[in-house]
Structure 1
Amino acid sequence: MGEVILALLTGTIVGFLFALLKLPIPAPPALAGVVGIVGVYLGFKVFQALEPMIRNFFS
């Protein structure tokens, strides 16, 4: 959990600095983009959990 908090803190600082320097945000500018990234991560984790069953099905 500490890793997640550290990542959130680092991202917040970076976002603040980008806004301060009037640079474009280095992340999707809309919530839908962020949700899409979370979806990619979840899909990857679901595959990892189901991988043995998928490998057996196709072999």
Structure 2
Amino acid sequence: MKEILLSTLTGSIVGFIFAFFKLPIPAPPAIAGIMGIIGIFLGYQLYRMFF
């Protein structure tokens, strides 16, 4: 749980800094990016489960 909170805090700070300096956000479109990350995680877990 600590990792999740630290990751969320770090991401929020980085997002704030990018917005403050009016820079484009360094991430893919919201839903596509989230699904890509979930897909990577699920693929990694499937590999670990079977090999």
Q: TM-score range by the shorter chain?
A: 0.7 to 0.9
Q: CA deviation at 1:18?
A: 0.3
CA-atom RMSD, angstroms?
1.1
Partner of 1:57: none
> Which 5+ residue runs of structure 1 have no aligned equivalent?
52-59
Partner of 1:19: 19
Give aligned-pair identity as a percent. Answer: 55
Q: Which structure's CA Rg is the greater one?
A: 1
Normalised by the size of structure 2, how large is the TM-score? Answer: 0.84
Q: CA deviation at 1:29?
A: 2.4
Q: CA deviation at 1:40?
A: 1.0
- Once the two structures are superposed, the pairs formed by residues 1-59 of structure 1 within 5 Å of their partners are 1-51=1-51
> Which 5+ residue runs of structure 2 have no aligned equivalent?
none
Q: CA deviation at 1:45?
A: 1.1
Aligned residues: 51
Normalised by the size of structure 1, how large is the TM-score? Answer: 0.75
Structure 1 stretches of 4+ moved >2 Å: none
